[in-house]
Structure 1
Amino acid sequence: MSDQNQVRLIKKYANRRLYDTQTSTHITLHDIRQLVIDEEPFQVLDAKTGEDLTRSILLQIIQEAESDGEPIFSSDMLRGIIRFYGPFQGMLGNYLEKSIQAVVDIQAKTGQQSSQAWSDYMRSQLPVMQDLMGQYVEQSKQLYLNTQNLFGMFPGFPGTPGRSDKDKKSEDDDKA
């Protein structure tokens, strides 16, 4: 197996330091972020237990990036993601993964990944993209609500067809 195909091993010690076994040096989260950008395969393991900490480290990198500059995730978006944990998390995870992969594929096909031209283009397309995503989200929401209504999953859910004015008045009386 060539060096390019080998997974780079990073060990995390109790003192929270990260050690790159390939270069025999201590590294930072910024260095690991660069490995991600360079698409270099790596794995982070707890030096003592051998536990895989890769996801945890990647989440730390995202948290740092969200704290600096303009965040990707709004508070409302994070609340929405949290609500999906449970019975629908597999569906959301799969959707997000495919959506991000589609963006990466588009970047790769245009040959402009990480270039200023791509950034400028995306900035100019932002209003169009936001409008399209807004339409998509609204259509997805309607599809989801229609599916719930079809199967009668939430008969008392606001906006459910078939709710009589009596049901609404009874609900209002209960609140009073």
Structure 2
Amino acid sequence: MAKTNEATIIKKYANRRLYNTGTSTYVTLEDLAEMVKNEEDFVVFDAKSGEEITRSVLTQIIFEQENKGQNLLPISFLRQLIRFYGDSMQNLVPSYLDFSISSLSREQERFRNHLTTAFGSSAFDALEDQVRRNTEIFERSMRMFLPFGTTGEPQRPATEETKAAAPVNELEEMKRQLADMQRKIESIAVPKKGETD
């Protein structure tokens, strides 16, 4: 069934049978669960009273999934959720949960990729790659503050030969530049002989 802008109307009869008015067929809770997974919107009405019962049917789907052993909701979460009923926080809980699950849904693909990378066979390579990227970002940031070398010309990318000596040379260069900056600061701060306030 293709996704549509309008929600499909499902009618629930006294014998607990669910009727999909869009396809003119009887459906099961499992069918409705598949519709949810396929992002097909539906609204459930009690066939006799006309009352909307979507929430209770969705809760029933969760109950069925949990009974199949696909435990998604931790016991501590369920206990805390029950405690919120009748509590002063009850009105805040739905919007908080809605926001949280929406955020998780938006980030789920990135989250899946992250978990696959973290726990997959290439976890060490990914960690090395992240450290390498962080180091490059740090080096670029440092170049923003020290864009010129000692000759006054822009620094060129390091070659393979210079990379081995780079940590020692860079540290010495940073020390030298800090000493130069300190001398300049001192010369500005301390008045020269013959100068008065």
TM-score norm. by structure 1 comes to: 0.59
Tell which structure's C-alpha radius of gyration is larger: 2
Q: CA deviation at 1:101?
A: 0.4
Sort the Cα spacing of 1:38 and 1:123 in 2 relative to 1 into closer, same or farther, 3 A. farther
Q: Which residue of 2 aligns with 1:121?
A: 116
More deviation, 18-27/75-84: 75-84
Residue of structure 2 in register with 1:87 after alignment: 88
Specify the alignment match of 2:21 in structure 1. 21
Per-residue deviation at 1:70?
4.0
Q: Distance in 2 between matches of 1:59 and 1:122?
A: 34
What amino acid sits opposite 1:66 in the alignment? E
Q: After the TM superposition, which parts of structure 1 deviate over 4 Å for at least 4 consecutive aligned residues? A: 117-120
Q: Which runs of 5+ in 2 are unaligned?
A: 121-197
Cα displacement (A) at 1:82: 1.1
Offset from partner CA, 1:81-121 (integer Å, 9 cap, x none): 1111221012222221111100111136x4x9xxxx65962
1:39 aligns with 2:65: no
2 CA distance for matches of 1:15 and 1:80? 33
**Would the alpha carbon gap of residues 23 and 118 (structure 1) be closer, same or farther in structure 2, given more than 3 Å must change?**
farther
Give the whole-Å Cα distance in 1 for the aligned partners of 2:97 and 2:45: 26
Offset at 1:124? 3.6
Seen in structure 2, the aligned counterparts of structure 1 residues 52 and 123 have a Cα distance that, compared at 3 Å, is farther
Q: Percent of aligned pairs with the same residue?
A: 43
Q: How many residues get paired?
A: 117
What do residues 44-94 of structure 1 show as CA deviations (whole Å, max 9, x unaligned)? 101111110100100000011111224122222211111112210122222
Amino acid at match of 1:43: V
In structure 1, the gaps of 5 or more residues are 126-176
Residues 39 and 10 (structure 1), Cα distance of their counterparts in 2 relative to 1, 3 Å cut: same
Q: Tell me how far apart the structure 1 counterparts of residues 76 and 118 of structure 2 sit (CA, whole Å).
A: 22
Q: TM-score, normalised by structure 2?
A: 0.53
Q: Which letter does structure 2 place at the counterpart of 1:90?
A: N
Paired residues for 1:96-115 under 5 Å:
96-107=97-108, 110=110
In structure 2, relative to structure 1, the CA distance for the partners of 1:47 and 1:119 (3 Å cut) is: farther
Change in Cα spacing, 1:124 to 1:89, as seen in structure 2 (3 Å) is farther
Alpha-carbon distance in structure 1 between the residues aligned to 2:17 and 2:117? 37
Q: Which residue of 2 aligns with 1:67?
A: 67
